[in-house]
Amino acid sequence: MILKSQSMRFVMKTMMDVEYEWQVNKWKDKNDMINPDAPLIIQVGDFGYEIQSCGGDGDIEGFVLMCKPEPVCEWRGMECVKLEAK
């Protein structure tokens, strides 16, 4: 299966949708929502890493996310399990 890479516009729209829900629809149960102030996690294989920094790279014309070196969570099946800090 070939999955299409997502553009910065797609990611930004998703983030703006989350911010809109958080700010505007205050009546919703926030326990079921993504907290826009929480650290951003990126999944690589079965592990999740926090984003350390972001910026552009002219050589590849893309937006680059730099991850911290140690994973913070692991996906086991459909469940995300937080890893203990070292």
- Judge if 29 and 61 occupy the same domain: no
**Residues 49, 71 within the same domain:** yes
Q: What is the pTM of this model?
A: 0.76
* Same domain, yes or no: 20 and 43: no
pLDDT at 27: 55
One domain, residues 24 and 59: no
Q: How far apart are the first and last CA of the chain?
A: 37
- Categorize the per-residue pLDDT at 5 as very low, low, confident or very high, splitting at 50, 70 and 90: confident
Q: Which domain holds residue 24?
A: 1-33
Q: Do 28 and 47 share a domain, yes or no? A: no
Q: What is the mean pLDDT of residues 8-31?
A: 80
Cα-based torsion angle of the residue sequence 10, 11, 16, 22 in order, rounded to the nearest 10 degrees: 130
Measured between alpha carbons, how far is 63 from 55 in angstroms, rounded to an integer?
6
Same-domain pairing of 60 and 79: yes
Task: Give the whole-angstrom CA distance, residue 84 versus residue 43.
Answer: 17
**Could you give the number of structural domains in the chain?**
2
What's the Cα-to-Cα distance from 40 to each of 27, 29, 61, 72, rounded to whole Å?
24, 21, 22, 11
User: Do 69 and 53 reside in the same domain of the chain?
Assistant: yes
- Within this chain, do residues 48 and 63 fall inside the same structural domain, yes or no? yes
User: What are 23-47's pLDDT values in tens digits?
Assistant: 887 656 666 677 888 899 999 999 9
